[in-house]
Every structure is written in structure tokens, then in C-alpha cells.
Amino acid sequence: MAAGRDTLLGLIVVIVAFAIAAYNSISLTNFAILDTDPSTYVVVVMLMMFLFLVFYAKRDIALEIRARNLAIAAALYAVYIVALSVLRVATSFLFLSYRIDALLFPLLLMPMLIAVFGPKAVKEFRAVLIYSLFASPIILMPVLLGNSAFTQLNADFVYSVMKAVGAPVVQNGVTISAPASSISIASTCADIGAFVAFVMFLIPIAWLYEGKIRAKAGWIAGGILLLLLLNFLRMTSIALVWAYSGIGSAVSTFHLFAGQVIFYAAIIIMLVLAGRFGLGIARIQRGFAEGLAKSSEILLENPVASASVAVVIVMGLFAFFMSIPYASSVYRPAVLLDHNSSANWQQSLYGDMVSSLNATGANVLHLQDLSQASAFALTGNSSTTAEQAIFVLINDSAMPFIGGFQANQSDMVSNVYAYVLNDGVRLDSGILASKNETFRINYFSLPYNTSNGWRSLNYEVFARINSTYAKDCLYSASFGFQDRLESAIYNIMSPGGSAAMCTSYKIAGA
């Protein structure tokens, strides 16, 4: 391995800073690949990113410590902060649903690399930069949403094999029936997320190996075929045991743990077979430790080099600080969005709706149910007049309505300002002119997990402009410094926006 001592030293600095910056994103990620949520494969990418960076020690990439490079890195880091702020406010709680925090990893990693290795680092490290994009499921969402089709493919295969060996079974979709009972090849039996995780594990290992690109691609493709075959054999074996010995025998054999066994077995087999594909790892040169120690002395003695290390670590610390609110954000899995518009919100969400309104401490008066929404009035006491009350319109949808008021075309909304709260929810505030009346209006969407699946309740909170009951909460406890900063960056093009009402913060935080 022709590793440069400068390369490893620079990598240590970058890896430490990036680990600090990405800590909160990684900590809120499920460390198990769930068969109910294929997007959980992202944990493999998040962890393998660091090994991928370590593997760059095989390259001889010299440090390039210059003040000019620090200026470029600082400018690019500023772009990252702006992009982070705008996207977090714009997407509300979907920011974490689609793991946009992880989608920005390349933009976070690039300035760190440039500060240490210079602009050439973008080209030299392009493989890991592209790989880190997959820490967000957005790019592979079309694949992940094909889980049902993949499940059907597996069910067809199992049924074909069982018929070929003479088993007395019939098929109906993913259900295979025998005279006495039936089984279903569910998505949990053929989780496409596990296959994606397997590929994401193999890619950095393939990059580490020495060999031709074609050989590496063949090795990865071979791994996919191997895991597919092993999974087919697992499901077919369990199904045959069920057909001839009953469901009890099938479950008690290896149904519960076979999936994990074949996943790890496939990894071991592919590592053993790497040599068959012409892949291997070069030896590490001698004198590596001595060279690293000497390089460290040079780095510490050079003021610009010392400043570069400090700048990269500060980048990591500030990114860590900006990501602290992630831990308290509400989360709705992107691949589990409910697209069934027939859900009855009056039955499944009414309790959640009233509960969120009760959190305001006001008297909740149910006015009426409209065709697409429910109307409420919030009053301080029985003597509160309609002129002073706060009114709430709530409707439900599969996807949240984010970044816009549901006003009539004849209405005019001005002084619009958007706030992101500590729980990741975006709250819009504005002034509404409608039918010779002027209202203060707030708007936000909240996710709820019901028996009908994930739904969003879309709240429109408004009160007459002269209502004393509708108090401002510009500096509400719902804000942290990070939320204020990101909201200010997002709203920089619309200065002078209106403050939001205390009632809205209480509902959104319920």
C-alpha cells in the first residue's frame, strides 16, 4: 500500500472533524436495518463513510496548506450553512423524514477536505463524496418503494419451486395456500432494504481492493446474486418445511434468525472470493509510523497548517451545534407515507386534533365539520366574543401541506414569515385580507401515526387583527439559537415578517 504519511495525517484531522459534525445525524439513525422500513439501510452508509475515508490511506495525497485554500473552504462551508438552513425551514419535519441532513454530507465534507488537501481534494475524494449522498434515502427512493414488487417476485419464485417438487399448493398474490393452512411471503421476508445495505457495504470494500474497475463491478454484482440466491433458498426451505410438516415446524426451525445468518454469510463468502475476481490489497510500506510522526511535527510548527487544523475542527463543532435540534424533531418515515386518501379523519384523527388544541389551555369549541376540514374556536372564557376568539381550521392529508396558506384566490396574504421550531415543524405567519376583514394567520402541518397509517393534520390558525387574545410569541421557548438563525437565513429575502401567535406554538409543540 503506497500510503503517504501526509495523507493519513490529513485524514485523521478530517475524520475527527466530520465525526463530530455528523454525530447527531448518526445518533438518531436506527442501527438496525428494519424489514418494515427499507430506508433504514442508511446506517450502513453512515458508518462505512468513515472506513471509506480511512481506505484513502492507500493513496498518496499530499497536504496543501495555504491561506487561499482556507478562504475557499470557509466560503464553501458558508454555502453549506445556508443550504442547511434553507432546506430545514423549507421542508419542515420532512427534513429528517428524507434525511436531508445526510444528503448535505458531501457539502459538509468538501470544505474540510479542501482546507487540508486543497481544491484537488474534490477530485481525489470524489468516490467517497458521491458515496456519502446515499446516506439519504432520497436517491434510492424509487427502488425502496418497489419493495412490494420485489416481494411478489420472491413469492412467485417460492411457489414455482414448490410446484416443481410436487407440493400441493396454490398461489394468490403473495399468499401460498396448502390444504390445511397458508403462508404469505411478506415484505419482511424479502426486504429490499437489506439488499441495498449489502451493496452499500461492498462498495467501499471494492474501492479498497486493488484491481480493474470491471472486476470490482463484477464482484459487487456477484454479491447481489449470491444474497438473492441465499434468500430464495431460505424462503423455499421454510415453505417446504411448512407444506410437509406444518407451520409450527417451519417457524421453529430457522425462520427467526435465518435472514441475519445469510446476510453475514454472504459478506464472508464475498470477502473469501475476492481473489477469484482478481482483487487484492497491497502491503503497507515500512517506516510508516516514523514518517507520520515527522509529518505531525511539521504540521504543528507551521502556523498556517495549525490554523487549518483549527478551522476544520471548528467546522465540525459548529455543524454539531447546528444539528443539536435534530434529537427533539418529530419523525415520519418517508417510505411509510400513507397515500390512501380514503382514511376517515373524523374517526382516526379527531382525538389527536382535540388533544393538540387542549394543549393551548383555552376553551375548545367545536363549530362544525366542513367537507374537507373541521372548524374550532379557542376562547379564554365563556364571555370571549367572536371578535376576540382564535379560530382553527384543520384538515388531513397523506402528504403535509408545507410552505403555503390554504387561502381562497380572492384572499391576499402578506408579511409572510416562516419559523422552524425545535421539533422541526415549520410554522408560517402572515396577515390575511379577506372580505373586508383583516386577520393574523398562522399555518403548519403535523404528522400523526394512526390505524390508517401516517397522516398529516394541516392547521390554519387565525384571529382578527385587533384580537387581544391572540398574543405574539416572537421569542417563544419553541425556539433555540439554531432555529432562530436558520429561520433568519431562510427569511432574508422577506424582511419585516409578522410574529406568530402563542397558541400556534402550543399546538405545534403538543
How many Å from the N-terminal Cα to the C-terminal Cα in the chain?
56
Whole-angstrom distance, CA of residue 242 vs CA of residue 280: 43
Which of 51 and 450 is assigned the larger pLDDT? 51
Q: CA-CA distance, 133 to 51, in Å (whole number)?
A: 15
Which residues, at least 6 apart from 339, have a Cβ–Cβ distance to it below 8 Å?
Answer: 398, 399
**Tens of pLDDT along 260-289?**
788 888 999 999 999 889 888 866 555 555
pLDDT band for position 243 (50/70/90)?
low
Burial grade of 481 (CB within 10 A; 0-12, 13-18, 19 or more) = exposed
Q: What does pTM read for this prediction?
A: 0.85
What integer best gives the mean pLDDT of the chain? 82
* Rounded Cα distance, 443 and 202, in Å: 45
**Which of 369, 413, 418, 364 is closest to 394 using CA atoms?**
369
pLDDT (tens digit, 9 = 90+) per residue, 383-427?
Answer: 666 678 889 988 888 788 887 666 566 678 788 889 999 889 999
Tell me the pLDDT band of 475, cut-offs 50, 70 and 90.
low
More confident residue, 283 or 341: 283
